[in-house]
Structure 1
């Protein structure tokens, strides 16, 4: 698996969310550097789990759509004797 990388804008948004979470839920102020470090840790250590779940969900959706397409094609068949 390739390393999970975020754009600069995504990273700013994620870091902000981490900081707000710490403030709201833990009543602790988390600095920019610490929040970025935590984001990097999550991306490296558990990011693969989220990535794999996304792939699994995409595969499930694709399989459902292929099945629906197969059903639609079957409905187009003309009766023959």
Structure 2
């Protein structure tokens, strides 16, 4: 797995969202620097779990589509004496 990377704009938005959540829900005021470190921690420790779940979901979709394709191919097969 490659590292999870965000654009600068995404980092800023996510950092602001963390600051707002911590202030509104937890009563904790995070400075931008602290919020950025929290984002890095969450990205590095929890991000791979979400990444792997996304891969698993994508694999399930692909497997279902492949079964659909196999069914359609079976339906168009021609009978042959050979």
Question: How far off is 1:80 after superposition?
Answer: 5.3
Give me the CA root mean square deviation: 1.6
The number of residues matched between the two structures is 81
Q: Using the alignment, how far apart are the partners of 1:36 and 1:74 within structure 2?
A: 54
Q: Using the alignment, how far apart are the partners of 2:8 and 2:54 within structure 1?
A: 22
Larger RCO of the pair (alpha carbons < 8 Å, separation 6+): 1
TM-score by length of 1: 0.84
Runs of 4+ in 1 over 6 A off after TM superposition: none
1:14-60 Cα offsets, whole Å, 9 max, x none, are: 11211121122112221111111001011112221111111111111
The runs of 5 or more residues in structure 2 that have no matched partner are none
Give the match's secondary structure for 1:53. helix
Between structure 1 and structure 2, the one with the greater Rg is 2
